[in-house]
Amino acid sequence: MHISLLGKAGSFALRLIPLFLERVSAGFPSPAQDFVEKTLDLNELCIQHPAATFFVRVSGDSMIEAGIFPGDILVVDRSLRASHGDVVIAVLDGEFTVKELALHPAPMLLPRNRAYAPITLGNDSELEIFGVVTRSIRDIRGQR
Amino acid sequence: MSSVFALVDCNNFYASCEKLFRPDIKHRAVVVLSNNDGCVVARSKEAKALGIKMGVPAFQIKDMIHKHSIVVFSSNYALYADMSNRVMQTLEAMSPRVEVYSIDEAFVDMTSVDRVMPLSDFGYQLKDTVAQYTGMAVCVGIAPSKTLAKLANYAAKKYPAIQGVLDLTDRTRQRKLMAMTPVNEVWGVGGKLTTRLAALGITTALDLADANPKQLRKHFSVVMEKTISELNGESCLELEIQAPAKQQILCSRSFGEVVTDKHIMQQLVSGYIARAAEKLRYERQCCGHVQVFIRTSFFRQGAVQYSNAASTRFAVNTDDTRVLTRAAMSLLDVIWKDGVRYAKAGVMLTELGDQGVVQQDLFDTRQADGGKKLMALLDRINTSAHGKAWFASQGQQSPWTMKREHLSPAYTTRWMALPLVR
């Protein structure tokens, strides 16, 4: 057997191919028949790397100005490398926290709520990042 | 072309799964207990450093748990199974041929990888990607046979200087490692074999590799001959990509409290039969043989010790819970003794065959289509979200379910149990 490595599987974009189904039937043909596609799957939209995707629930209000509210479910993709400006799940004092990551001018975790102060990270301190937040899911009716 | 295998094995898998969602206990000693919180089945590296042994009963280390504030978990199978799937999927995305060998280890085909990059580089890619995607730390052992890959993995775990990935394709390195490895660390060489091999002067893996295979085959079996070839770098065991059908189905439990009442024991055994039969049908198999066993606790010194088992063979292979229960109840009658404090019981179904290849008995007409339909209906009810159906012989389902006092939330498989972030 020959194997050639093309690169990490995770680095390839998901390619969506529309599925056209056509059946020939007796009687009057439906004008919509040629346009039938598969139904939309929310997983496909929200999850690029299933094996690396975790869900967490928000319990604080430190990110409300970024549209992340208590009770929201966040989609966290561990396969992504966190970069400046990403919303991340980090470990702070033995707890998970959701914050915006700033790498310059100095490494910081930024709350998106004016009532909270930015968390500066010393140059020698090690920040553990659990994963990068890619989506937020809110129950709109449940908020009433 | 010569094969190359990698064995990827998660470090302290159950304990690592528990720690992933509890950053507050990252550096604490963690142990995971077996069914019913009986024995230690997994230890974090901090717990190992404290000298806690695998398999030790929980009550024997009570003082240590208190003294060192060890964090104790009941087995959270939903969590471990989900994390295992993630690890395996990550590996499968990186190699076209992966054999899932157990919940926390897999063989990965690395044949021809060395044309593209050094084997150890790919080993580190496997290790780093699994760690990043799933949070699980793994060790990787690379070698020309599965037995040597196992040994390479053992070394990668044992010697921190190796840094988690060992390329053991070089013959000199193989011999060097085998010379310092006791023979019982060789894949498939267990306790009893070790004693018998010692009698022949074989104590290290290298002694076994250099032994005369034909001679050892006479003493032992063809498996031992294969092991010797494998240790010499000749691959005899192929990747088994498709999971082989189970050879036996075992359902057994240590009880939360001691059982002395026969009626309760009948209910418990009926329950195990129901569970085992469900697994049997799920695997689309029938069984030809059922065994029931009961025993007292090995760890309660001074009390009356009793352990017994009985089994029977069916005229026609069956997957019918009613037939299995009837047989198990008569077997229990045979081995039951009054006045004994039972701590464990179980049932084992063996001689498994496909449902399609059942040998019909000319004189036995019980296994008619009605049974099949009833069992299919039963399984449908019990796998649905709507309710449970069980046999009257199982009794009311209450105090005899598993004891899991230290169970962590199903972080990855239940919406209500998601980890919280501030």
Name the B residues in 171-200 with CB < 8 Å from any A CB: none
Q: What is the pLDDT of residue B412?
A: 92
Cα(B122)–Cα(A3) distance, rounded to whole angstroms? Answer: 13
Q: Which of B113, B415, B421 sits opposite A58 (nearest CB)?
A: B421
Residue B103, CB-side half-sphere exposure with 13 Å CA sphere? 13
- The set of residues, in sequence order, having a beta carbon less than 8 Å from that of A133 and lying 6+ positions away, is A68, A74, A75, A76, A86, A87, A88, A89, A98
Contacts 24+ apart (CB under 8 A), B100-103: B100/B243, B101/B7, B103/B13
Cβ-based contacts of A82 with chain B (< 8 Å) = none
Cβ separation of A79 and B133 shorter than 8 Å?
yes
| Angstroms from B149 CA to nearest CA on chain A | 20
- Res A22: pLDDT: 47
- What is the residue-level pLDDT of chain B in tens, covering all 422 positions? 689 999 999 999 999 999 999 999 999 999 999 877 889 999 999 999 999 999 999 999 999 999 999 999 999 988 998 999 999 999 999 998 999 888 899 999 999 999 999 999 999 999 999 999 999 999 999 999 999 999 999 999 999 999 999 999 999 999 999 999 999 999 988 777 899 999 999 999 999 999 999 888 888 888 899 999 999 999 999 888 755 556 788 888 777 678 889 998 999 999 999 989 988 888 888 898 899 999 887 666 566 778 888 888 888 888 999 999 999 999 999 999 998 889 889 998 988 887 665 556 665 555 556 677 888 888 877 766 566 677 777 776 544 456 788 999 999 988 889 999 99
Tell me whether B23 touches chain A (CB under 8 Å): yes
Q: Do A59 and B420 touch (CB under 8 A)?
A: yes
Q: Which amino acid is at B343?
A: A
Q: Residue A39: CB partners within 8 Å, gap ≥ 6?
A: none
Residue A69: C-alpha distances to residues A84, A140, B21, B420 (Å): 22, 11, 21, 12
CA angle B260, B266, B269 (to 5 degrees): 105
Query: Which residues, in sequence order, are bridge partners of residue B3?
Result: none
Backbone angles phi, psi at B197, to 5 degrees: -70, -35
Please pick, among A4, A8, A25, A62, the residue that the annotation labels catalytic.
A62
The pLDDT of residue A13: 42
- A4, A83, A99, A136: the catalytic one is A99
Shortest CA distance to A81 belongs to which of A18, A30, A1, A8? A8
Q: Considering CB atoms only, which of A3, A5, A78 is closest to B133? A: A78
- Catalytic residue list contains A125: no
pLDDT at A114: 96
Cβ neighbours for B341, distance < 8 A, ≥ 6 positions apart: B258, B259, B260, B296, B297, B300, B303, B304
Task: Identify the pLDDT of residue A2.
Answer: 52
The answer to whether B213 and B225 are in contact (CB under 8 A) is: yes
Phi, psi torsion values for B256, nearest 5 degrees: -65, -35
Most confident stretch, A39-53, A112-126, B59-73, B233-247: B59-73
Instruction: Give the pLDDT confidence score for residue B402 in this predicted structure.
Output: 61
- Give the helix ranges, DSSP H, for B210-352: 213-219, 222-231, 262-282, 321-335
Which among A10, A59, A79 is the nearest to B422, CB-wise?
A59
Query: What separation, in Å, do the N-terminal and C-terminal C-alpha atoms of chain B show?
Result: 54
**Quick one: which H or E segment has residue B140?**
strand B138-143
A contact residues 88-117, partner B, Cβ 8 Å cutoff = 89, 91, 94-98
Q: Is the Cβ of A51 closer than 8 Å to some Cβ of chain B? A: yes
Within a 10 A sphere around the Cβ of A63, how many other Cβ atoms? 27
Residues of A in contact with B85 (CB under 8 A): 51
The dihedral built from the CA positions of residue A82, A88, A90 and A96, taken in this order, carries a sign that is negative
pLDDT of residue B74: 93
Whether this model's ipTM surpasses 0.90 comes out as: no
Strand-strand pairing, A87-92 and A128-137: antiparallel
Chain-chain contact of B116 with A96 (C-beta, under 8 angstroms):
no
Nearest to B89 among A51, A54, A56 (CB): A51
Is the CB of residue A130 less than 8 Å away from at least one CB of chain B? yes
Taking the CA of residue A85 and the nearest CA in chain B, the distance in Å comes to: 18
Residue of B nearest to A59 (CA): B422
Tokens of B256: 């939360």
Half-sphere exposure of B241 (CA within 13 A, CB side): 6
**Confidence category of residue A84, pLDDT binned at 50, 70, 90:** very high
Contacts by B91-95, CB closer than 8 A, 24 or more apart: B91/B8, B91/B126, B91/B130, B93/A9, B93/A10, B93/A51, B94/A8, B94/A9, B94/B125, B94/B126, B94/B129, B95/B126
